[in-house]
Amino acid sequence: MDRRSGSSPFANRSFRLLFTGSSISVIGDQFTLVALPWLVLQLTGDPAQLGLVLAVMALPRAVFMLIGGAVVDRMSPRRVLLNARAVNAVLVGLLAILVLHGTLHMGALYVLAAGIGLSTAFAYPAGGALLPQLLDSEQLHAANSLMMGARQLSLIIGPALAGFVIRVGSGVGAPHGVRGTGIAFAVDALSFLFSVGSLMLIRVASDHHPPAPSGGILANLLEGIGSLWRDRPLRALIGYFAAGSVLVGGPLQVALPLLARTRLDQGAAAFGILMTANGTGMLLGSFLSGALTRRTGGRLGLMLLGGDALCGLAVAALSQVHSLVTGVSLLVATGVLQGTIQIAMLTWLQRRVPQALMGRTMSLVMFTFLGLAPLSAALAGGLLKLLSLPTLLMGMGLSLSAIAVFCLTQPRMRAIRFASAPLAK
């Protein structure tokens, strides 16, 4: 394994395998991200049902994600990630079979959604903890840029392709759009198998020399929470992420497909295009991230809060969208703002946190996005019975901008920065 300081991450065989398998898998993920909300809306026509399905997936993920982080710190993150993705392949594959055979009912969908949520509770902290075991800290910024770039490229290719597959595959022996979603789920299941294959070829030291367990899982979890709580900048940052996830991240999971379905003529294809637009913006933002971080002297707090203040205004403007071009423009803009800070934020975390606590810290960070957002999506689905879609979008966006501006007045958030600016890509 080549871990020479400053060498390209691609000089590392294990990183090449991880990058290849993950790149294929994240493209497949976009098929399910488009297909699942579209399937629920086509079967029920009820945004509240969509919010409920997302909540059923989120609940086991939220409950077990913190436990998953503690498990990762006691074992090999590679093995945990491999097993979790294998389970995902089986569950998504079963979902595809049920849809294609026309035997899926909402009860089965709830069960499969809960299973997928449980397996991802272990996959996400394992994935976040694996990369620092493969590379030196000086290589992490470049590696994160490559991984993020592949992910954002998948957001460009995947959703538009998924929308096309759903549209072309619809109306054949099933209600409009449903058969196409079955094909999309099958593509995602196949992509998980590619990821499993690549992970089987990777080797890390923790495979053969796992950390010596000290205490039980609960004690390990409490230790991780205590460590985070004592780190005031990290505590403030995670609290901010939690607020943004509840106010905007979750509700957008319901609002965007509903916007495409009720206001845009292209239907599922429009939903895919909107997600592609956001991914395009994030890809552009990831290229700008390193230069902006250096130009601001590594002031991560200012980058995050300033970007979110503008992002909130763009989300509020979505409330007035009636054309695909306008929606695409706004989501490209929000993507650029998000992408400029994500790599810097992740690299800051990986450099700051000791490896022995990496799994638990990543699980806490990801809990704010992946555990809380779908729960707030369920709440948003219920609110749409009382509020109009424009009112919800306007409230989401203005709330995010207001919180970001308020946090700019707080020294603890504003002062978050790199000890030194990250290395150039």
Residue 419: inside a domain: no
Q: What is the pTM of this model?
A: 0.67
Single-letter amino acid, residue 141: H
Given this model, what pLDDT does residue 401 score? Answer: 93
Residue 356: inside a domain: yes
Residue 113: inside a domain: yes
Residue 276: inside a domain: yes
Residue 290: inside a domain: yes
The tally of domains found in the chain comes to 1
State how far the alpha carbon of 100 is from the alpha carbons of 172, 181, 185, 209, in Å: 10, 8, 10, 44
Q: Which long-range contacts (CB under 8 A, 24 or more apart) does 189-194 make?
A: 189/28, 189/89, 189/90, 189/92, 189/93, 189/96, 190/28, 191/24, 191/25, 191/27, 191/28, 191/29, 191/31, 192/25, 192/28, 192/85, 192/86, 192/88, 192/89, 192/92, 193/89, 194/21, 194/24, 194/25
pLDDT tens per residue, range 177-197 = 577 888 899 999 999 999 999
Whichever domain contains 44, its CATH number is 1.20.1250.20
Residue 57: inside a domain: yes
Task: Using CA atoms of 92, 96, 99, 105 in order, give the dihedral in degrees to the nearest 10.
Answer: -20
Residue 182: inside a domain: yes
Residue 424: inside a domain: no
Given this model, what pLDDT does residue 268 score? Answer: 67
Structural domain including 398 reads 9-202+214-414
239 Cβ neighbours under 8 A, 6+ residues apart: none
Q: Please identify every stretch of the chain with a pLDDT value under 70, giving residue numbers as ranges.
A: 1-6, 155, 170-177, 205-215, 266-268, 370-371, 374, 419-425
